[in-house]
Amino acid sequence: MEALWDGLREALRLIAHGDATLRAVALRTLVVSGVATLIAAFVGIPVGYWLARGRFRGRTLVLGLVNTGMGMPPVVVGLVVWLMLVRSGPFGDFELVYTKRGMVIAQVIIATPLVAGFAAAAFQSLPSELPDLLATLGASKFRTLWLLGREARIGLLVAFMAGFGGAISEVGASMVVGGNLQNSTRVLTTAIVTETSRGKNDVAIAYGIVLLAIAFAVNLIFTTLQQRSR
Amino acid sequence: MDVRFDEVLFRRGKRTVLDVPAMEFASGRVTALLGPNGSGKTTALRLIAGLERLHSGRVTVGGTEVRSAADAAPNVALAFQRAVMLRGSVRHNLDLALRFRDLDLTRRQVRIEAVSNACAFGHLLDREARSLSGGEGQRVNLGRALALQASVTLLDEPLAGFDAEARREMTLRLPGLLRQFGSTVIFVTHDRDEALRLAEDVVVLREGRVVAKGEAATIFAQPPDAETAAYFGYTVMRCGDRTTAIAPGGLRLGEGDVCFDVLVERVLSVSGVVEGVGSHAGAQILFRIDPSQLTPAPGDVAVVSSEARSVVRFS
């Protein structure tokens, strides 16, 4: 219990003094997970629409795979992405392993099934005649997706928050693909692991509090947007 | 614009939903699509609107083949059976529909005012569309399709969802609305009286096939078969191998040349008058027995004759 209070005190001290390392790690975390979530939303929302509205052979199988992907262990994703990006791997020439871009790729793979699964549920909850109505009015496919997205925006914001939550909270993939390099690929989750292994529990708790604060702030913004949409 | 079906075959799984070698909806006419549930009426509308893909054959609107909703959209408006609204006010919903027709703001506003007054929902224009009651929503749903003033207007059960009073009112209002905003109108209904009041032509579908088509008054006066007659509300009676259909309200008491079989249940003798109680097609029949004839016993099939008007006979 004492360690926890020490941690809280240390966290407040680091935050109050604007610790440069903490600021850099927090900013890197926000950028990596934010970009990964945006890409996941860009891919996952149309995929969710396609899964919700499409009538094709094997749709249930694909939906089952996406739902399985929603619970994919990040460390396994990290391992597969690392094998793909490592120099001897098929995408080794791009030199993405141990970079922030490599971490973004891993987080996109983690967040996309989450966004797609929740988006599919959001689109499926709309009246089935709505896409047909827009089609008979002459809406293009992009405009239909846009208008249906507006109708399903409460569910889509949940999808976005789930994707961001999945990306920012994972540690295994960032550790394996990013390598947890100081001043380069260390993010809040990997920093917590490092500081704990060093015995610096107070610093680890400080990173943990900042991680929770970022997650809370981002989710609060989207929850506010979501509730305004009601 | 006219609408034509040529060698149309549409299946859902292994079931044939629509099999129509030829069908035409004449330009400028109001046609009712009649038929029992599952007869393919709504599918026919969806094919015209380009919302379903044909297995073979073609559907044309004004000579242009419809392969997708994008082909049909410039000329076709469809009011779905269920009133589906987007977020926002009723005005926003109508305006959005008209924006797809590339009308400028002034013309959109004029169109919205005209249709909302004609359909009697002007007071609802600034209400949240998704908070409307069933009848109000249906009124707006109908108005949205009419506001487009499309060359072909498709209405899927336009009077479903109204209460009895509103239904009566809309039945009176609709002919004027269709004249004002519609051109070629095709509407689906289950209601024979609704079809008679609103339609110039009717097409009767059964199990995906056209069983009758032509002018409404003619088809209703001369149904092509006993099943269609029963669907129109005729009393269909069988006597041996002959089938007779009597128009609603056409059966009269008294002796006549319409005969039908009655399964005798009881025979009563009151003050020298012998009467029988029996049933025909589920209806209970009370009949008088001629004392000069053999008195039937319960379980016998007796031939009863009666007077009737508006009779159609099928061999």
Are residue B192 and residue B130 in the same domain, yes or no? yes
Res A31: pLDDT: 96
Residues of the domain holding B302: 233-314
Q: Are strands B30-34 and B184-189 parallel, antiparallel or unpaired?
A: parallel
Are residue B257 and residue B204 in the same domain, yes or no? no
Side by side, the strands of the sheet bearing B3-12 are B15-25, B3-12, B56-61, B64-65
Alpha helices in chain B (DSSP H): 41-48, 69-72, 90-99, 105-118, 134-147, 164-181, 192-198, 216-221, 226-231
Are residue B187 and residue B267 in the same domain, yes or no? no
Are residue B32 and residue B137 in the same domain, yes or no? yes
Is the per-residue pLDDT at A176 higher than 80? yes
Interface-testing mutation among B51, B94, B132, B141, with chain A (most A C-beta atoms within 10 A)? B51
Spell out the per-residue pLDDT of chain B, length 315, in tens. Answer: 889 999 999 998 888 899 989 999 988 899 999 988 888 999 999 999 999 988 899 999 988 999 989 898 899 999 998 888 998 999 999 999 999 888 889 999 999 998 898 888 888 889 998 888 888 899 999 899 999 988 999 999 888 888 888 888 888 888 888 888 878 999 999 888 888 888 889 999 998 999 989 888 888 878 888 888 888 877 777 766 777 777 766 555 556 666 777 788 878 777 777 777 777 776 677 777 777 777 777 888 777 766 555 566 665
Is the per-residue pLDDT at A227 higher than 70? yes
> A222 to chain B, minimum CA–CA distance in Å?
19
Higher pLDDT, A229 or A112: A112
Question: Is residue B299 one of the residues assigned to a domain?
Answer: yes
Higher pLDDT, B208 or A8: B208
Are residue B19 and residue B168 in the same domain, yes or no? yes
Question: Is residue B39 one of the residues assigned to a domain?
Answer: yes
Are residue B117 and residue B242 in the same domain, yes or no? no
| Amino acid sitting at position B237 | M
Domain boundary among B221, B245, B273: B221
Are residue B175 and residue B308 in the same domain, yes or no? no
Segment (H or E) for A5: helix A2-16
Q: Is A114 left (phi over 0), alpha (psi -120 to 50) or beta?
A: alpha
Task: Tell if the pTM clears 0.90, that is, is over it.
Answer: no
Confidence of residue A91 (pLDDT cuts 50, 70, 90): very high
- List C-alpha distances in Å: A72 to A80, A126, A143, B210: 12, 28, 32, 54
Res B312: pLDDT: 65
> B124 to chain A, minimum CA–CA distance in Å?
20
Most confident residue range from A8-12, A56-60, B42-46, B127-131: B42-46
Under DSSP, is residue B84 helix (H, G, I), strand (E, B) or coil? coil
In terms of Cβ atoms closer than 10 Å to its own Cβ (0-12, 13-18, 19+), residue A57 is exposed
Domain boundary among B160, B194, B221: B221
Kindly report which listed range (A26-40, A56-70, B10-24, B259-273) carries the lowest average pLDDT score: B259-273
Are residue B18 and residue B146 in the same domain, yes or no? yes
Torsion sign across C-alpha atoms A90, A95, A99, A100 = negative
Confidence of residue A184 (pLDDT cuts 50, 70, 90): very high
CA distance linking residue B93 with residue B108, whole number of Å: 12
Say yes or no for a CB contact (<8 Å) between A136 and B78: yes
Rounded mean pLDDT of A31-43? 96
- List C-alpha distances in Å: B232 to B211, B243, B310, B313: 13, 16, 13, 15
Tokens standing for A214?
């970022």
Tokens standing for B129?
């569309």
Residue B254 in contact with residue B245, Cβ under 8 Å?
A: no
CA distance linking residue B275 with residue B291, whole number of Å: 10
- The count of structural domains within chain B is 2
Q: Residue written as tokens 């689906």? A: B188
Res B144: pLDDT: 92
Are residue B147 and residue B63 in the same domain, yes or no? yes
Are residue B56 and residue B147 in the same domain, yes or no? yes
Selected residues 137-156 of chain A with any CB under 8 Å from a CB in chain B: 137-139, 147, 150-151
Chain B CB contacts of A145 below 8 Å:
none
Are residue B255 and residue B211 in the same domain, yes or no? no
Question: Is residue B228 one of the residues assigned to a domain?
Answer: no
Is the per-residue pLDDT at A118 higher than 90? yes
Q: Residue written as tokens 């009011």? A: B79
CA distance linking residue B57 with residue B60, whole number of Å: 10
Closest CA to B95 of B110, B80, B108: B108
Domain boundary among B201, B221, B241: B221
- List C-alpha distances in Å: A212 to A82, B241, B286: 27, 85, 84
CA distance linking residue B56 with residue B6, whole number of Å: 9
Res B249: pLDDT: 60
> A135 to chain B, minimum CA–CA distance in Å?
6
Chain A CB contacts of B72 below 8 Å:
136
Are residue B210 and residue B243 in the same domain, yes or no? no
Residue B218 in contact with residue B64, Cβ under 8 Å?
A: no
Domain ranges of chain A: 2-228
CATH of the domain at B8: 3.40.50.300
Res A29: pLDDT: 95
In CATH terms, is domain A2-228 a member of 3.30.930.10? no
